[in-house]
Structure 1
Amino acid sequence: MGTLGAVLKHPDDFYPLLKLKMAARHAEKQIPPEPHWAFCYTMLHKVSRSFGLVIQQLGTELRNAVCIFYLVLRALDTVEDDTSIPTDVKVPILKAFHRHVYDRDWHFSCGTKEYKVLMDQFHHVSTAFLELGKGYQEAIDDITQRMGAGMAKFICKEVETIDDYDEYCHYVAGLVGLGLSKLFHASGKEDLASDSLSNAMGLFLQKTNIIRDYLEDINEIPKSRMFWPREIWSKYVDKLEDLKYEENSVKAVQCLNDMVTNALIHAEDCLTYMSNLRDIYNFRFCAIPQIMAIGTLALCYNNIEVFRGVVKMRRGLTAKVIDRTKTMADVYGAFYDFSCMLKSKIDDVDPNANKTLKKVEAIQKACRDSGLLNKRKSYVIKSEPRYNSAMIVVFFIILAVIFSYLSANRPRLPPSLNLFLNAWMNQPLKCIAWCMSLSFLCL
């Protein structure tokens, strides 16, 4: 009912949601027949459905390389996250992981659910890796080695300072940005981006995830490691877990706003990186997650619900981002609109209000200076719908009545209506989408 209620409240979400559902089904049908590649793409959709959808639109050669890159790093992350592995066992595996990807026989049992399957059958990933071009292999090897070494370093090191925070995020996400830039360059489709811009792309996403996942991470059993830097949270509470208690709500929100402000530092570099991309598929692959990040930060800012439950963009808005992000104008427009949303929530009494305001206004200025803001249609800022939930319900009732009548009188129907009924029975989603689109145009 949650999704249905959201659609009734935001009826223009329906068509993008429908397209997203159809795209997911199409992606599942595109899984290669070879056993090792079938395993890799099936596992990709299991460990990250949203990433799997975005990666699916890349060109075949680059798509395969990014798929394997993601699975290798996901496996590496599974080793790091498994708290049951003794440190003296875990550290050598992390440091040597870049060599294991060349070994078709290597596997290591750890993790849970689909992650355990990935680790138990890692030989499929190694087999696929060895079929990639040499340039792709070298890029994946290099980043895996550096990331494994960085993870090993932080196994025994706490995130105390903001510099520690940036260093940790570099190892687990900034290096992903560097790796993707290397893969793009190896494909011949892009110039090699600078390390600083590539790093910013990863840090912006990682810091957003760390902020959003506070409650899930702090409540995890066995207790997980936390990466909110002490330099920030110690200004507000004595212990990091104190942020989740209701009596500390004011301080918790102030700490949250401090963390969001820190993440916003990377937004301008992300815009610069994306504006330099030439290939439309590479662009959409990079842009969609970045828009999701700025949108999530706007929702989390000044929001106590981060410490009470899950705060994330509704599925319909996510579907719109995926459907409508096609040009840099769309990116500037989304960043500008979400920045406006965040700016409207800044409280003058917040200790970081001025700092936050400067960061937000810098993002807005970068968007305005692009000269592209007038070339996109906003889907972030709320506007009065041209139709309401009652009209949508009435539409479906009428559609159901018409369909029942036509089915009962099918022998006497003209050929054109029989064709429609056949289409309805074989591809109902496409028919509903067509009818909804037509009705929206008429309302």
Structure 2
Amino acid sequence: MVALEESFCRTVLPRVSRTFALNIPLLPEPLDLAVTVAYLLCRIADTLEDEARLPFQEALFEELASLVELKPGWEGRAQAFARRAGAALRASAPEAEVELVAGTSTVLKTLASLPSWVHPHVARCVRIMTDGMNQIQRRYGGDGPVVGLPDLQASFAYCYCVAGVVGEMLTGLFIAYSPLVTPPRQALLEPRATAFGRALQLTNILKDVREDLDRGTCWLPLDRMGAYGLEPATLALPSHRARAMALHSELVEVARRELDEALEYSLAIPPEEPGLRLFCLYPLFFAVLTLNVVEGNPAVFDPTPVKLGRDAVRTLMLLTQERVASDSALRALYVDCSQAAQGVEAVR
């Protein structure tokens, strides 16, 4: 019988993530539940970053990281944390994320029930993520939201603390779970783990640039904006659209180079572990097609989000499944996806 805690985690996952609800179920047990719990804890941190009022954010980050270490007495502290965090969220916070924060204790109970090899990887990830979010906020936001980062290096540093470290965590979990991830495979995975997470985050930033601006934040490099005569306040103005698109295209190329590394990361996973491979390949190929949709598309700066169509997602999942055991077939699919947006529709 599935524990109530586990049931909550599996039920709330698709409500807070469209992509990871597709690929996490492909992982073998107990890795699927371990990654579900890890994702939900990272999503709680992300919700605090996006939705918690600033006077309370820093203390909540520190408390969450401490709770994930599962030190004695965490159960009572988790319930108190959930109450404080819920009270700190803005009234506009998405309902599913409010429910997730309220269920922090339930997620942690599920983490505690998992094998001991899971715990240190998840705790390290959440600690680095929350510390990094705090540092970015203090350094570049102060008492207000972060509105642009100084340069691409700072944007990369942000991407590391919110996503690159997730790539490191996943690599640790894959190695701990599967004897097929041998030392030679590990030597290929570990140097690319950060790029895998960073590539997905860069893609999201470029896709969600207008949504972030409307929320009063921006994660793009200020020096590159300045090179085009732009700043966050003018980035979405119709009169500046040509310059904004030139900047956006430059950063899309940066993201594509990161995705090249993410492909090598995914192919370093042994084909005898198809679930692990597909877990990585789905979001990788979704990111490639997302860049195709947003590159050169002025609608990326309009209020209505630009997204992949459901048919394109389903088709790409089938194509990836058919080729999962063949490195050469996957490389060919990657090239095809990178060079053309055929079959991809933007949903407005």
Normalised to the residue count of structure 2, the TM-score between the two structures is 0.84
Counterpart residue identity of residue 265, structure 1: R
User: Which residue of structure 2 aligns with residue 24 of structure 1?
Assistant: none
Question: After the TM superposition, which of the residue ranges 325-334 and 49-58 deviates more from structure 2?
Answer: 325-334
Counterpart residue identity of residue 98, structure 1: A
* SS of residue in 2 equivalent to 1:156: helix
1:242 to partner: Cα distance: 1.3
CA contact (8 A) 1:94 1:152 kept: yes
User: Which residue of structure 2 aligns with residue 150 of structure 1?
Assistant: 132
User: Which residue of structure 1 aligns with residue 257 of structure 2?
Assistant: 265
1:115 to partner: Cα distance: 1.0
1:82 to partner: Cα distance: 2.1
Do structure 1's residue 182 and structure 2's residue 172 form an aligned pair? yes
Summarize deviations over 1:251-280 as a string: whole Å, max 9, x none: 111011111012122122112111111110
From 50, 58, 68, the equivalent of 1:91 is: 58
* SS of residue in 1 equivalent to 2:129: helix
CA contact (8 A) 2:48 2:61 kept: yes
Summarize deviations over 1:10-56 as a string: whole Å, max 9, x none: xxxxxxxxxxxxxxxxxxxxxx7311111111111111133112111
Q: Counterparts in 2 of 1:270-419, with a 5 A limit? A: 270-278=262-270, 279-308=273-302, 309-326=304-321, 327=324, 328-341=327-340, 381=342
Gaps spanning 5+ residues in structure 2: where? 141-148, 344-348
Do structure 1's residue 62 and structure 2's residue 26 form an aligned pair? no
1:145 to partner: Cα distance: 1.0
CA distance in 2, matches of 1:41, 1:120: 15
Summarize deviations over 1:49-89 as a string: whole Å, max 9, x none: 33112111211210010011001111111112224241xx3
> Could you say if the C-alpha distance between residues 166 and 339 of structure 1 is closer, same or farther in structure 2, counting changes exceeding 3 Å?
same
User: Which residue of structure 2 aligns with residue 19 of structure 1?
Assistant: none
CA contact (8 A) 1:324 1:330 kept: no
CA distance in 2, matches of 1:253, 1:170: 25
User: Which residue of structure 1 aligns with residue 227 of structure 2?
Assistant: 235
CA contact (8 A) 1:104 1:124 kept: no
From 98, 102, 105, the equivalent of 1:120 is: 102
* SS of residue in 1 equivalent to 2:218: coil
Summarize deviations over 1:86-128 as a string: whole Å, max 9, x none: 1xx3223223422213222312314431111111121111110
CA contact (8 A) 1:165 1:227 kept: yes
User: Which residue of structure 1 aligns with residue 151 of structure 2?
Assistant: 161
User: Which residue of structure 2 aligns with residue 358 of structure 1?
Assistant: none
CA distance in 2, matches of 1:246, 1:334: 36
CA contact (8 A) 1:237 1:243 kept: no
Counterpart residue identity of residue 55, structure 1: I
Do structure 1's residue 252 and structure 2's residue 244 form an aligned pair? yes
Gaps spanning 5+ residues in structure 1: where? 1-31, 342-379, 383-443
CA distance in 2, matches of 1:216, 1:194: 33
CA distance in 2, matches of 1:323, 1:274: 17
CA contact (8 A) 1:337 1:381 kept: no
Counterpart residue identity of residue 337, structure 1: D
Do structure 1's residue 173 and structure 2's residue 163 form an aligned pair? yes
CA distance in 1, matches of 2:214, 2:278: 34
Counterpart residue identity of residue 312, structure 1: K
CA contact (8 A) 1:80 1:151 kept: yes
Question: After the TM superposition, which of the residue ranges 261-270 and 227-236 deviates more from structure 2?
Answer: 261-270
1:295 to partner: Cα distance: 1.0
CA distance in 2, matches of 1:55, 1:218: 30
User: Which residue of structure 1 aligns with residue 10 of structure 2?
Assistant: 41
- Select the structure of larger CA radius of gyration: 1
User: Which residue of structure 1 aligns with residue 200 of structure 2?
Assistant: 205
CA distance in 2, matches of 1:283, 1:62: 13
From 16, 21, 32, the equivalent of 1:52 is: 21
1:201 to partner: Cα distance: 0.5
* SS of residue in 2 equivalent to 1:228: strand
CA distance in 1, matches of 2:283, 2:189: 20
CA contact (8 A) 2:19 2:283 kept: no
1:207 to partner: Cα distance: 0.4
CA distance in 1, matches of 2:3, 2:338: 45
1:300 to partner: Cα distance: 1.3
CA contact (8 A) 1:140 1:179 kept: yes
* SS of residue in 2 equivalent to 1:118: helix
Counterpart residue identity of residue 318, structure 1: V
1:194 to partner: Cα distance: 4.3
CA distance in 2, matches of 1:57, 1:335: 20
* SS of residue in 2 equivalent to 1:133: coil
CA distance in 2, matches of 1:195, 1:163: 21
1:160 to partner: Cα distance: 0.6
CA contact (8 A) 2:45 2:61 kept: yes
CA distance in 1, matches of 2:318, 2:257: 27
